[in-house]
Structure 1
């Protein structure tokens, strides 16, 4: 075989390997496992243990994604983590209105999906839970949680408790609704109304809890 042909073949093989090696990844490493198969959106990371700075940074990054050019993605994946013993939970956010439309838990033996809205891209299978389908608003979740919106606790420890409730299959529906309610307020409402974000951030720094006895207190 002529030398020129051998060179062309070698270059073709090399380029093939480069295409495979350099192919863009849809998700970055986040400590999660099976949940990554369900999302193909830009990720924003939020560790609830890192206080108000990490929280406000997460909101700023969501706002930046929303304000991108016309080619901006329609959804974002907020990867929520806490301490070493808490599961990682993904909140899929619809960027046009900041609504959380799906929660995913994937670093437990039985990963599953909690849907709040339909029409969200991504793999769906028998593990999807549609009990909360159509309950995007905090009012709808508050009714299931049997919770007044004026006493929802959004301190660090409560947010971590909700990661456990949302990261384990078979959690009581009231606890699931309470957990989603906390994060809908902390993400959706805080993204839309900055005074809400500032109030939540101040509470994180002070470690305040409300003293009411309720599922979300």
Structure 2
């Protein structure tokens, strides 16, 4: 399949053919990426519509999302596994008392963070390992998404809103990454765990929130 055929296949099926090569998958991930402004616009839109004042992010990276949202939220917590990136972000936001950068694997440190959360939050889950780069770290898994979701969905607060970045990477085990579930597996998990929640994939972002607060 060429690039356009792969993109159209993904948009129609939210999965990819099983026989793709490593190069074909990496190429699809590259051409299927979205402008960063789309990420920012969605985080801002969901925070405003759901009236959420706390942002919890996994995968700080260079701190772009924290920087853009620094005046959008009253409290921001961002988790970064890579020590160098963590140190840089911690220094960058050291003068912002409402921003906390946490060092660690989000699949392990999120429960401790949630212990101190008593209000609905917007979760931006972007702690995915990116192959072939020197500035992202890998924890025990390529993505801790299932652990993250389990912690959030079993939290006493039931009005959290979850946005998961890079939906196109969730195609199941493949020649590049082994630990990513498929979109269908994620949706089935959500439906079984919290059938009251709405699940949607749009603009390469997975959106999970209450049915009655559906956003067009």
Provide TM-score, normalisation by structure 1: 0.31
Provide TM-score, normalisation by structure 2: 0.31
Between Structure 1 and Structure 2, whose CA radius of gyration is higher?
A: 1
Indicate the structure with greater helix content.
1
